[in-house]
Amino acid sequence: MYYQLINFGNEEFYAYPNKSLYWKRLKTLIVADLHLGKSISYAKNKQFLPPYDTKEILNELFISLDKIKPSNLIIVGDLLHDVFSTLSLKDQDHKNLSQYMDNTDFIWIKGNHDKNIQIEGFKYCTNYKIDKFLFTHMPIKTSSFQICGHYHPKVKISHRGKTIFKTSFVHNEKIFILPSFGILTGGLDIHSKQISDVLGNNNLSIYPVGQDKVYKL
């Protein structure tokens, strides 16, 4: 798999086009905002999206786990979309997940969407620290480097008279925000108020995600 090398906090990370991030030194794979079961929670409002999101997201995750074989998997929040989402996890999904857990430590950091939900066999925490890196759903006040999710960053690119929007990895000196690993999840412009309140507008490193490649701007 092609990846883009990203230097953050004097460590090397690999950004993959499937929107996962790998910290090779510590064999740790990081994903954010899967929003499993988003379709089923929309269905309760009679908005019937195709019910295949959970299956597809998990498949993509399993492909990564098979290829990379990390020791740790950190989910930086919003693994599930809401309390209805567990309905979309079938028996087979549970079985598969626990099989992967035999070789990989799953660290589920709670996000705003899934803070009150539990899945059998899943450990969870509100944030997680390795060395000088803090893994958290939303950034907090700290002197550590932070790796988080929540915002689903997207970048607007205007070039040669055309404008496109692309899902994107983005970080400043201290804070790294992952794109959403989900498939029915939208995105937020990195220059929107919500994100610039966190990252500021200057000295951003932006990595748009293309078809089979992560670019660097």
Considering the complex, state which of residue 28 and residue 54 has its C-beta at the smaller distance from other proteins. Answer: 54
- Structure tokens, 194: 């919500």
Residues of this chain, 28-57, that bind other proteins according to CB under 8 A: 39-40, 43-44, 46-53, 55-56
Smallest CA-to-CA distance from 38 within 170, 181, 136 is with 181
Q: Please give the order of strands across the beta sheet that includes 105-109.
A: 4-8, 11-15, 21-23, 28-31, 72-76, 105-109, 124-125
Minimum CB distance to other proteins smaller for 116 or for 163 = 163
Minimum distance from residue 119 beta carbon to other proteins (Å): 18
Output 40 or 147, the one with its CB closest to other proteins.
Answer: 40
Residues near 98 by Cβ (< 8 Å), separated by ≥ 6? 121
Tell me if 203 contacts other proteins by CB under 8 A.
Answer: no
Residues in the chain: 217
Among 158, 193, 197, 202, binds other proteins (CB under 8 A): 158
Of 143 and 211, CB closest to other proteins: 211
Among 131, 164, 173, 194, indicate the residue that binds other proteins (CB under 8 A).
Answer: 164
Q: Is 166 in the site for other proteins (CB under 8 A)?
A: yes
* Least distance (Å) between residue 111 CB and other proteins: 20
For the bound state, the minimum distance from the C-beta of residue 40 to other proteins, rounded and expressed in Å, comes to 6
Determine, following the binding rule CB under 8 A, whether residue 2 of this chain makes contact with other proteins. Answer: no
List the beta strands (DSSP E) in 32-161.
Answer: 72-76, 105-109, 124-125, 127-130, 133-136, 145-148, 153-159
Helix, strand or coil for residue 90? coil
Query: Tokens 């996962």 — which residue?
Result: 20
CA-CA-CA-CA dihedral for 174, 12, 16, 49, to nearest 10: -30
Considering the rule CB under 8 A, would residue 165 count as an interface residue with other proteins? yes
Which residues form the interface with other proteins (CB under 8 A)?
A: 39-40, 43-44, 46-53, 55-56, 87-88, 156-166, 183-184, 186-187, 208, 210-211, 215-217
